[in-house]
Structure 1
Amino acid sequence: MTAPLAITCGEPAGIGPEVVAKARVLATGIPLLVLGNPDHFAPFGPVEVIDAPEAAHDRALCVLPVDVPGPAVPGRPDPAQAKGVVAAIDRAVALCRAGAASGMVTAPIHKAALIEGAGFAHPGHTEYLAELGGVRDVVMMLACPDLRVVPATIHVPVAEVPAALTPEGLEATLRITHRALIRDFGVASPRIAVAGLNPHAGEDGKIGTEERDWIAALVARLAPELGCFGPLPADTMFHAGARAGYDAAVCMYHDQALIPIKTIDFAGGVNVTLGLPFVRTSPDHGTAFDIAGTGRADPTSTANAIRLAWEMAARRAARPG
């Protein structure tokens, strides 16, 4: 596998350029192809401007120019740059689908600037990438060395979670997670722990009935095929002994999944989109305008996202289909 990883520029006024430049030094031996304005990355280290994807290498920060105009002012997003930020995402996907990039890592975007400057009509990166990839069902996984979590519902108010959680949606999440554990993470026989929705997983219907009414039956039906088990009380799923018993945990809502992984590895977690026809990871943080330009941004999550994307791409190359 020789094709580089494509790295999108993200929001130029955020910490994206800084963490990408720092992460290249940490994630050694991986050729990176940054898509963006070279001037936005130059303050953070040497930049080599290249004119073709195949010219990318691991000895410098190689930038293939995309028209993201003007200076990047830390902490002050400019909607005039939004079309270029979106163009960098489009180019990265095109390179992945053409085989000119092994996978992609996305730096954080600022949705308000994209809406104002480019009419961006998607909830975020993930939904836009699903459209570009021609797929409907995608799943967000947060991963670190000690834990992988998948929220079955994501940016949904807590009051709306029970209605948003459906048998069809949970089954699709379990199937996508199972396939990704095999194909992308090299787990031969995945074990997927499924959290309950309610405290104590409903306690036999005394503290909520969703587990009794349908979640337990769905998990039991899929268990022989997908290696899933539960529903389990979420408050006892994430200590070290419990984590040793599964390869990924599927949770019912956003905070149920993200609180444990951010507690275990706040700086190093990686966001992975499962179900796409190409590899996509990203750091598990936002644009951090409050520290942009100060030199204090932590590149750990971005470096881990690069390493994980490279490992996933290698496994896909070895196991196509």
Structure 2
Amino acid sequence: MKQKPIIGITMGDAAGVGPEIIVKALNHEEIYKNCRPIVIGDKEILERVLPIVESKQKIHSVEGPEQAIFSYGTIDVIDLNLLSADLPFGKVSADAGNAAYQYLAKAVELAKEKRINSICTAPLNKEALHKGGHMYPGHTEILAELTDTEDFSMMLTTPNLRVIHLTTHMGLIKAIESITPERTYKVVKLAYDTLRNAGMENPRIAVCGINPHAGENGLFGNGEEEEKLEPGIQRAQKEGIDVTGPLPADTLFFRAGRGDFDMVVACYHDQGHAPIKVMGIEEGVNITVGLKGGIVRTSVDHGTAFDIAGENIADEKSMIAAIRSAYELAPKYE
């Protein structure tokens, strides 16, 4: 019987809701039935959170996954001991920003060494990160640098839908201009490799069209599907990948939601994000795929929520979903 995957959960910015939602999520027994979670953070912060969220869990400090108990009711933590227990909630802190970076760096180190199977991140705060001396826009850019990765992509999931993007945070005109056959092929291959590494034997992938009705044989647009998408799709098909498209986006997401496809490739931000938000905003998960070494990172689909930090208001549903995605997509190590 194969061991359940080990999921490294980084605490994020400790002045935000990260510690709370981690403790709340790990109070759900289903997590321990499917994986072996271990927090990378600060023991004293987690212990401070226990009475706030009215939890009877115990915190167990370890040096690495090898010493963890992985038992429901006990939260294993690799204690980096970077923060004071009286760190103020809801305030930007250089110390918390630096700590959030160090938690992630430790997680990447463990993933590279194959001591954890995947990474799940609580949210960080960009301003705090910068004050702490780390000038990155967010988690994704840190992960790309720490793993020396150039080609990666954003993937979003809900319980019934997986979407990966050709482009994300750019204007629509620029997004369409930036799509190339090479980018189409690479993202299809990333989707395929990610699902294969997670144990799916023959993933079924579908690519959205750029124009309404996927261009409808030249009726809409200026041949973008034929120029930018089809050559990349055909290249992937020649390699034996089960990929279909381009297909009209207005019906494709429905078809994927009912189970016709295992992954949808969206051409631009809102094409992929809108269906995810409609089908499951509370359980949406942001995933970084394509990192070198096959490392998969999942994240909650919300921020640090400084305005409610430390008040036992934050909902753990997205963290539970992120942990679930982390173990479902975790590379299978022998």
Measured after TM superposition, the shift of residue 47 of structure 1 is: 4.3
Partner of 2:315 in structure 1?
Answer: 298
CA contact (8 A) 1:154 1:254 kept: yes
SS of match in other structure, 1:140: strand
Partner of 2:23 in structure 1?
Answer: 21
Amino acid at match of 2:42: N
Partner of 1:259 in structure 2?
Answer: 274
Contiguous gaps of at least 5 residues in structure 2: none
1:112 corresponds to 2:127: yes
Alpha-carbon distance in 2 for matches of 1:183, 1:283: 22
Alpha-carbon distance in 1 for matches of 2:63, 2:96: 22
Alpha-carbon distance in 2 for matches of 1:255, 1:246: 20
Of 176, 187, 204 in structure 1, the residue corresponding to residue 217 of structure 2 is: 204
Alpha-carbon distance in 1 for matches of 2:5, 2:203: 29
Measured after TM superposition, the shift of residue 67 of structure 1 is: 3.9
Amino acid at match of 1:270: V
Alignment of 1:35-54 (within 5 A): 35-42=40-47, 43-44=49-50, 45=55, 46-53=57-64, 54=66
Range moving further from structure 2, 137-146 or 147-156: 137-146
Partner of 2:325 in structure 1?
Answer: 308
CA contact (8 A) 2:40 2:78 kept: yes
CA contact (8 A) 1:3 1:100 kept: no
Of 194, 198, 219 in structure 2, the residue corresponding to residue 180 of structure 1 is: 194
Alpha-carbon distance in 2 for matches of 1:119, 1:130: 14
Alpha-carbon distance in 2 for matches of 1:113, 1:256: 31
Alpha-carbon distance in 2 for matches of 1:80, 1:261: 34
SS of match in other structure, 1:262: helix
1:248 corresponds to 2:263: yes
| Identical residues among aligned pairs (%) | 36
Of 115, 138, 162 in structure 2, the residue corresponding to residue 124 of structure 1 is: 138
Aligned residues: 315
Alignment of 1:95-110 (within 5 A): 95-110=110-125
CA contact (8 A) 1:12 1:77 kept: no
Of 242, 253, 260 in structure 2, the residue corresponding to residue 227 of structure 1 is: 242
For residues 203-246 of structure 1, the C-alpha deviation after alignment (integer angstroms, 9 at most, x for no partner) is 33343221133323432343342211111121121225764221
Amino acid at match of 1:28: Y
SS of match in other structure, 2:184: helix
Q: 1:235 to 1:84 in 2, by over 3 A?
A: same
CA contact (8 A) 2:196 2:203 kept: yes
Alpha-carbon distance in 1 for matches of 2:219, 2:306: 45
Amino acid at match of 1:55: Q
SS of match in other structure, 2:233: helix
1:286 corresponds to 2:303: yes
Alpha-carbon distance in 2 for matches of 1:161, 1:144: 24
Partner of 1:56 in structure 2?
Answer: 68
Range moving further from structure 2, 153-162 or 27-36: 27-36
For residues 23-79 of structure 1, the C-alpha deviation after alignment (integer angstroms, 9 at most, x for no partner) is 112212443321222232222344424131122223312222224323343322212
Measured after TM superposition, the shift of residue 92 of structure 1 is: 1.0
Partner of 1:73 in structure 2?
Answer: 88
CA contact (8 A) 2:181 2:230 kept: no
For residues 73-92 of structure 1, the C-alpha deviation after alignment (integer angstroms, 9 at most, x for no partner) is 33222123222211111111
For residues 113-168 of structure 1, the C-alpha deviation after alignment (integer angstroms, 9 at most, x for no partner) is 21222232x33212221221232211221123211100111111223211222222
Alpha-carbon distance in 2 for matches of 1:218, 1:96: 31
TM-score scaled by structure 2? 0.86
Range moving further from structure 2, 43-52 or 245-254: 43-52
Alpha-carbon distance in 1 for matches of 2:138, 2:259: 33
Alpha-carbon distance in 2 for matches of 1:288, 1:240: 35
1:83 corresponds to 2:98: yes
Alpha-carbon distance in 1 for matches of 2:101, 2:107: 10
Contiguous gaps of at least 5 residues in structure 1: none
SS of match in other structure, 2:281: coil
Alpha-carbon distance in 1 for matches of 2:110, 2:256: 42
Of 147, 167, 174 in structure 1, the residue corresponding to residue 181 of structure 2 is: 167
SS of match in other structure, 2:149: coil
